[in-house]
Amino acid sequence: MKILVTGGAGFIGSHTVVELQSAGYEVAVVDNLYNASPKVIGRLEAITGKKVPFYKVDIRDREGLTEVFEQEKPDAVIHFAGLKAVGESVRKPWEYYENNIGGTLVLTDVMRKCGCKNIIFSSSATVYGDPAFIPITEECPKGTCTNPYGWTKWMLEQILSDLHTADPEWNVVLLRYFNPIGAHKSGTIGENPNGIPNNLMPYITQVAVGKLEKLHVFGNDYDTHDGTGVRDYIHVVDLAKGHVCALKKLEPGSGLSIYNLGTGVGYSVLDIVNSFEEATGVKIPYVIDPRRAGDIAECYSSPEKAEKELGWKAENGIREMCEDAWRWQSMNPQGYGD
Ligand code: NAD
Ligand code: UD1
């Protein structure tokens, strides 16, 4: 079975390529390298010892994408390609809607014209908004998003569901990720944010490596065990393996499936700081700042449905997540260095 991975040079996509190849799948990668380094492909090949066919193509480029489909004839698509910076999406909503929604519309049109109607889509826990209940199950109603990035995920879930309703030949898996962190054990691929990181773990690793002075903790007056925000952090390799398991839901007649990919465990910001210090021996200075607009107090999953139906469960704990994030950052202080 051959899988086309859009956004396969990015953080989660690159780790998924490793797990797909290790599980015996053929892969091909499409990425416009907007938020990824061309070095990733060579590093993937070094990890798996297998060739990774790569196309520097934008998914909005209908002709270019059609050529890839004609060349590779994939059986299924795992669709990571998209813009993901929450703050930037507030400043550039048009760009986010055009890239994420416009891109997915072109992709799915090319797919159906080429007879490939199997797709796994990268969604996010952000579609739950301020969740109606915790731990969040897939039955939890979708909520109100606080930014255009979140709305693109919300709307793309609807668009892909509608495609399946209109044409049951489509098999669609929506995977709602919680907070992916960590990196491959080799320390050769990992998260490579542009500029100052928005997310907690890359900020911490950049403090640890001396690129940033101290962590700013956004609020310590939430209704949580220590007042700081609680999230469901998941090792990116576990998340990648979740995609391999989700492929079984693309069998003919599977239809539409939705899964949370998380660990079911919530850690606060200060829990993460302490775990990082314990796992690495590196001290993380921090100050308490006001709350960040749009943040919620607590967000963690119930991962039971994925375990029951996909046979998938996150295996790595917080220590491995911290150790592996740190190995990547300390071996690559400038990321991929381009
Ligand atoms: P990433 O930015 O590292 O990867 C996305 C990749 O898509 C990049 O390599 C980028 O160059 C590529 N891309 C963007 N627009 C493209 C286009 N028009 N054509 C071709 N390639 C394009 O991000 P990531 O963290 O690996 O996230 C992957 C997916 O998972 C995204 O859709 C993201 O929204 C979603 N997601 C991420 C998180 C997270 O915390 N990282 C959480 C929930 C959901
Ligand atoms: C982010 C995204 C969300 C996405 C989710 C999963 C934002 C606003 N939201 O949310 O769309 O679905 O990741 O990947 O980016 N924190 C600090 N200091 C920092 C950074 C973060 O204290 O410098 C705190 C936050 O307030 C939060 C926790 O750390 O309590 C995690 O933050 P972050 O990594 O940005 O993830 P989310 O807020 O869950």
Mutating to test ligand 2, I would choose from 91, 216, 292 the residue with most ligand atoms within 8 A of its C-beta, which is: 292
* Gap from CA of 89 to ligand 1 centroid (Å): 13
Mutating to test ligand 1, I would choose from 5, 34, 77 the residue with most ligand atoms within 8 A of its C-beta, which is: 34
Q: pTM of the entire structure?
A: 0.98
Mean pLDDT calculated for residue range 51-73? 98
31 lines ligand 1 (CB under 6 A): yes
DSSP conformation letters of 32-65: --TTS-THHHHHHHHHHSS---EE---TT-HHHH
Q: Determine what percent of the chain is predicted with pLDDT higher than 70.
A: 100
The number of beta carbons lying within 10 Å of the beta carbon of residue 273 is: 22
Q: Would you state the pLDDT for residue 19?
A: 98
Catalytically annotated residue among 149, 203, 233, 259: 149
Query: Atom 19, ligand 2: which residue's CA is nearest?
Result: 200
What band does 170 get if pLDDT is binned at 50, 70 and 90? very high
300 noted as active-site residue: no
pLDDT at 338 over 90: no
pLDDT at 11 over 90: yes
* Gap from CA of 26 to ligand 1 centroid (Å): 21
* Gap from CA of 229 to ligand 2 centroid (Å): 9
DSSP conformation letters of 183-242: --TTSSS----SSS--SHHHHHHHHHTTSSS-EEEE-S-SSSSSSS-EE-EEEHHHHHHH
- Give residue-wise pLDDT tens across range 130-164: 999 999 999 999 999 999 999 999 999 999 999 99
Mean pLDDT calculated for residue range 105-117? 98
